[in-house]
Every structure is written in C-alpha cells, then in structure tokens.
C-alpha cells in the first residue's frame, strides 16, 4: 500500500512526494478543513429536516480532496452519492448540491462549463458511464480524462466489472477510484469478496491498479496524478483502491454504525485522521497555523450559510416542472399526467 506520510505526518516515501508548491499544499489543507466543517453542518441540517438525503464524509477527506486535486477542471467527474465534496470543488455550486439533497430539479442542472454529472444514486452505474465518457474523449481526440468513484460494496456490482472491462478493452482515458471505507453500509469487506484486495480486481479487466493509504492525502494525490497523466497520454485506464474509513454513519437515513463496528475499530481509524496527519506535516514545514485553521473554519461556516440561504430562496419545485425536464418532447402518457396537475 502506497504511503507518503505516516500517521504522525512524517515523510516515509521521499521518492513519490508530489512536487507541489507551498500554495498548492495549503490549498489542499484548506479544502480538507472546509469539507470537514461543511460536513458537520450538513449533518445538523439533515437532522433539522432542512436537507434531504445526505451521506457523511468525515474521515474520507484525503481520499476525496487529494484525488480531485490531481485532475484538471477540463476532466469530467462522475461522482457517486457520497462524492459531493469533489463535485463542489470541481465547480458544482454548493447551493445546488443542497437542492440535489432535497430532490429539487435545479440541483442537477449543471452550469455551463462545469464538467460534473449529477451524483449517481444507482450503485455502480457511474462506472459504466465513466467508461463511455472516456471513450468519447478518445474518439474526439481530446486530452481529457473521465474519473469516477465507487465504494467497496459497489465493486460487487456487475456494472463495476462491465465498466472497467469496457474501458480496458477500448483503452479509454478513465480513472476508477474505489473508496474502500471498510463497510458497505453494515457489511464488512471480507463478506463482500474473497479477493485479498479490491485493487486486484483490475487484473481481470487488464488494467493497472494501485492500493494507497486513503488517510494520506499526498499518497492519494500522487497515485491519482500518475493515473491521470497516464490516461491523458493515451495509455489507457487505471484503478486505485483508496484505503479509508468513514467516521460517521453510511447515510443520515437511519444507519447506526455502532451496531456493526466496534469501538476499538473506530478508535484505531480515528488515530489516522487525515486532517491531523496532514496538519502535522504542514506545521512541520511552517505552512499552517492555528490562525489559518480558524480562518478556514469561519469561511466554511459563512459559505454554508450563504449557500443554504440561496437554496431556500429557490422557488419550490412543482410536479409539472418535474415532468417537463424529463424529455425534450413529452410522450403522450406524460403529457396526460402533466395535465392532471395543471387543471
């Protein structure tokens, strides 16, 4: 498993330490802290009934932020339902992410130039879609990459193998990132598969893979950067297994992780907190301070409040509006249904 920073923030793999400027390192830390605060606020908003569906992300910030930071804004992101932070950092306005959570149609209406598909709720479907987007880039001779995410449980879906196999067969410029947070809701990895690792599943599709410490943002960045550059150079797709852990529940829809995870297991992963590790590294380089952290915390709180206010100001969605956006030209059955709501 690739690791660059140990749990104390010390460099243990100098050769693969990414060549990032001080500003770039600080920007990654800012996004990680911002995301942690945003996640805490989103959990409270969900409990208050002000958001709809929400999947917490605390613990997975290194896996999420490190990988997205290794891509270009011209690259196309196909997120799963937990990958809202990457989508927002890739250009999706936060207020629309809140509307998406509420099931509002405007949440999925991506602004022009934002290369993000709406988060996929169907497990594994984004893998097949990413293979198709990547193939389109290849056919158009565009130096762009499609990148997507899936959880450990999602690798048991047929769409997962079909997608990576298609990409491998056509040598499409795609990067598939498995966020192995150890549990598919309540089912541990060892009950999902007899495979020793999830990374090795790439071998059946004939594509290279790598297993990385998903609590180490520099390791995630390094692995993703190499995979993206490989894809952009026409050398085909790659798969990355990021070993991470979600500190909270699977979603806010009633999951209770204390029923299937021991306190000892949770504490062992808490000691590997990606923010603590990267903070220690940056402080050792005199690149981060308590004042920096507090400034980002306040920035995140303000941004979330403003995004929520903008989402609240959006007109309530109507049933006719929902029907109208389904097709360019409505078929007769939907036209009839729509008429029932405009009498």
How far apart (Å, rounded) are the C-alpha atoms in residues 107 and 87?
Answer: 12
> What phi and psi, each to the nearest 5 degrees, are found at residue 211?
-110, 130
Q: What is the distance between the terminal CA atoms of the chain, rounded to a whole angstrom?
A: 62
Residue from 298, 302, 299, 243 nearest 274 by CA: 243
DSSP 117: P
Point out the catalytic residue in the list 26, 260, 261, 338.
260
Cβ atoms of 175 and 147 within 8 Å: the answer is yes
Cβ–Cβ contacts within 10 Å for residue 3, how many?
Answer: 17
Cα atoms in the Cβ-side hemisphere of radius 13 Å centred on 56:
25
Whole-angstrom CA distances from 172 to 79, 133, 261 are: 18, 9, 38
> Tokens 């599709």 — which residue?
205
Cα atoms in the Cβ-side hemisphere of radius 13 Å centred on 44:
10
Point out the catalytic residue in the list 41, 90, 226, 246.
246
Residues 6 or more apart whose Cβ sits within 8 Å of residue 1: 211, 212, 213, 243
Please confirm, yes or no, whether 250 is among the known catalytic residues: yes
How far apart (Å, rounded) are the C-alpha atoms in residues 334 and 289?
Answer: 57
Region of residue 101 (phi > 0: left; psi between -120 and 50: alpha; otherwise: beta) = alpha
Sign, CA torsion 47/264/223/30: positive
How far apart (Å, rounded) are the C-alpha atoms in residues 286 and 11?
Answer: 15
Point out the catalytic residue in the list 250, 272, 277, 279.
250
Instruction: State the catalytic residues.
Output: 246, 250, 260
């Amino acid at each position: 498993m690739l690791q660059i920073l140990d749990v104390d923030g010390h460099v243990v793999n100098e050769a693969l330490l990414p060549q990032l400027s001080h500003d770039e390192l600080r920007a990654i830390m800012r996004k990680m802290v911002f995301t942690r605060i945003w996640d805490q606020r989103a959990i409270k908003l969900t409990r208050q009934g002000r958001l709809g569906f929400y999947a917490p992300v605390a613990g997975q910030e290194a896996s999420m932020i490190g990988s997205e930071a290794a891509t270009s804004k011209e690259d196309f992101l196909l997120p799963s339902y937990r990958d809202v932070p990457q989508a927002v950092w890739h250009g999706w306005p936060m207020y629309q992410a809140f509307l998406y959570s509420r099931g509002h149609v405007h949440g999925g209406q991506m602004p022009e130039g934002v290369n993000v598909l709406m988060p996929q709720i169907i497990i594994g479907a984004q893998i097949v879609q990413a293979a198709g987007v990547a193939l389109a880039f290849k056919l158009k001779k565009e130096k762009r990459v499609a990148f997507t995410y899936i959880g450990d449980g999602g690798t048991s879906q047929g769409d997962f193998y079909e997608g990576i196999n298609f990409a491998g067969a056509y040598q499409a410029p795609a990067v598939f990132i498995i966020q192995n947070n150890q549990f598919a809701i309540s089912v541990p990895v060892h009950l999902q598969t007899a495979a020793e690792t999830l990374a090795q599943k790439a071998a059946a599709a004939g594509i290279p893979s790598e297993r990385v410490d998903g609590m180490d943002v520099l390791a995630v960045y390094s692995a993703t950067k190499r995979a993206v550059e490989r894809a952009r150079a026409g050398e085909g797709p790659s798969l990355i297994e990021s070993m991470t852990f979600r500190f909270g529940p699977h979603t806010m829809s009633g999951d209770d992780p204390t029923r299937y995870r021991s306190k000892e297991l949770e504490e062992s992963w808490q000691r590997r907190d990606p923010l603590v590790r990267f903070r220690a590294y940056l402080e050792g380089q005199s690149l981060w301070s308590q004042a920096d952290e507090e400034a980002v915390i306040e920035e995140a709180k303000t941004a979330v409040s403003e995004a929520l206010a903008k989402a609240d100001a959006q007109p309530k969605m109507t049933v006719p509006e929902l029907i109208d956006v389904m097709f360019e030209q409505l078929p007769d059955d939907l036209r009839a249904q729509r008429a029932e709501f405009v009498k």
